[in-house]
Structure 1
Amino acid sequence: MTIKDSTLMSQADSKSKKSMNPVIILLLVVLAAVLMTYFLDSGKFERNGKLIVPGTYQVLEKSVSPVNLINIYPQKEAAHAVSLLDALVSIPEAINKQSGMIFMVLFIGGMFGVLNKVGAIETGLERMLSATKGNVYILVPAMMIIFSMGSTFMGMAKEYLLVIPMVVAMANRMGMSSLIGLAIVAIPVKVGYLASITNPYALSIAQPLVGVPVFSGMGMRIFVYVVLMIIGILYVLRSIKKEAKNNTIEMSWDSAKLPTRHTWVLLTLAVGIGFLVYASQTWHWKYNELSAYYLSLGILFAIVGGLTANETVDAFVSGMKKVLIAGVLIGLATAVAILLSKGQILDTIIHSLASVVGENNSNLAAYGMFFSQLLIDVAIPSTSGQAAVTMPILGPLGQLAGVDPHTTVLAFLMGNGATNIITPTSSGLLIFLATAQVGWGQWARYIFPFFLIIILCAMAFLSLSLAVYG
Structure 2
Amino acid sequence: MEESHKKKRWEMPDTYVILFAVLLLAVALTYIVPAGSFERETVEGVERVVSGTYSQTEGNPAGFMDLFLALQQGMVESADLIFLVLFAGGAFEIIERSGAIRGGILRAVNVTRGKEFWLIALISILFALGGAVGAVANSVIPFVAIGLIIARALKLDALVAVAITFGATFAGFNVGFLNPYTVGVAQTIADVPLFSGMGLRILAFVLIVGVTIWYTWRYAKGVLNDPSKSLIGVLEDQSQDGSLDAPFTGRHKLILSFAGIALAFFVFATIKMGWTINHMAAFFIFIGLVSGIIAGMNYNQLTMAFMEGCKNLVYGALIIGVARAILIVMENAYILDTLVHALSVPLETLPPVLAALGMFAANGALNFLVPSGSGQAMIAMPILTPLADMLGITRQVAVQAFQFGDGFTNSIFPTSGPLMASLAVAGVAWVKWFKWMLPLFGIWVLIAVVMLSVGVLMNWGPI
> Is residue 102–residue 246 contact of structure 2 (8 Å, CA) maintained in 1?
no
Q: 1:10: which partner in 2? A: none
1:51 aligned onto 2:48:
yes
> After superposition, where does 1:378-397 map in structure 2 within 5 Å?
378-397=368-387
Q: 1:264: which partner in 2? A: 254
> Is residue 359–residue 401 contact of structure 1 (8 Å, CA) maintained in 2?
no
User: Which amino acid in structure 1 is aligned with residue 52 of structure 2?
Assistant: G
Deviations 1:300-348 (A, max 9, x none): 0001111111111111111011100122100110001101101211111
1:376 aligned onto 2:373:
no
1:274 aligned onto 2:264:
yes
User: What displacement does 1:120 show?
Assistant: 0.6
Higher helix share: 1
User: What displacement does 1:467 show?
Assistant: 2.2
User: What displacement does 1:254 show?
Assistant: 6.2
User: What displacement does 1:246 show?
Assistant: 7.9
State the TM-score, normalized to the length of structure 2.
Answer: 0.90
User: Which of 427, 436, 458 lines up with 1:437 in the alignment?
Assistant: 427
User: What displacement does 1:188 show?
Assistant: 1.4
User: Which amino acid in structure 1 is aligned with residue 13 of structure 2?
Assistant: M
User: Which amino acid in structure 2 is aligned with residue 220 of structure 1?
Assistant: L
Q: 1:12: which partner in 2? A: none
User: What displacement does 1:438 show?
Assistant: 1.7
> Is residue 128–residue 169 contact of structure 2 (8 Å, CA) maintained in 1?
yes
State the aligned residue count.
Answer: 434
CA distance in structure 1 between the aligned counterparts of 2:421 and 2:244, rounded to whole angstroms: 28
User: Which amino acid in structure 2 is aligned with residue 83 of structure 1?
Assistant: G
CA distance in structure 2 between the aligned counterparts of 1:391 and 1:43, rounded to whole angstroms: 19
1:460 aligned onto 2:453:
no
Deviations 1:341-366 (A, max 9, x none): 01211111111111110177311210
User: Which of 286, 302, 308 lines up with 2:292 in the alignment?
Assistant: 302
> Is residue 106–residue 246 contact of structure 2 (8 Å, CA) maintained in 1?
no
When structure 1 is superposed on structure 2, of 22-31 and 153-162 the one drifting more is 153-162
Residues 351 and 83 of structure 1: CA distance in aligned 2, closer, same or farther (over 3 Å) = same
RMSD between aligned residues: 2.0
1:417 aligned onto 2:414:
no
Give ranges in structure 1 of 5+ residues lacking alignment: 1-14, 62-78, 248-252
User: What displacement does 1:257 show?
Assistant: 7.6
CA distance in structure 1 between the aligned counterparts of 2:169 and 2:268, rounded to whole angstroms: 24
User: Which amino acid in structure 1 is aligned with residue 96 of structure 2?
Assistant: N
CA distance in structure 1 between the aligned counterparts of 2:210 and 2:322, rounded to whole angstroms: 37
User: Which amino acid in structure 2 is aligned with residue 153 of structure 1?
Assistant: V
Q: 1:73: which partner in 2? A: none
When structure 1 is superposed on structure 2, of 440-449 and 374-383 the one drifting more is 440-449
Quote the sequence identity (%).
Answer: 31
Q: 2:437: which partner in 1? A: 447
CA distance in structure 2 between the aligned counterparts of 1:265 and 1:80, rounded to whole angstroms: 53
User: What displacement does 1:35 show?
Assistant: 1.8
> Is residue 141–residue 418 contact of structure 2 (8 Å, CA) maintained in 1?
no
Q: 2:240: which partner in 1? A: none
Secondary structure of the equivalent of 2:458? helix
1:339 aligned onto 2:339:
no
User: What displacement does 1:463 show?
Assistant: 0.5
> After superposition, where does 1:21-420 map in structure 2 within 5 Å?
21-49=14-42, 50-61=47-58, 79-245=59-225, 258-358=248-348, 361-420=351-410
> Is residue 82–residue 317 contact of structure 2 (8 Å, CA) maintained in 1?
yes
Give ranges in structure 2 of 5+ residues lacking alignment: 1-8, 228-242
CA distance in structure 2 between the aligned counterparts of 1:283 and 1:424, rounded to whole angstroms: 42
Q: 2:231: which partner in 1? A: none
User: Which amino acid in structure 2 is aligned with residue 92 of structure 1?
Assistant: Q
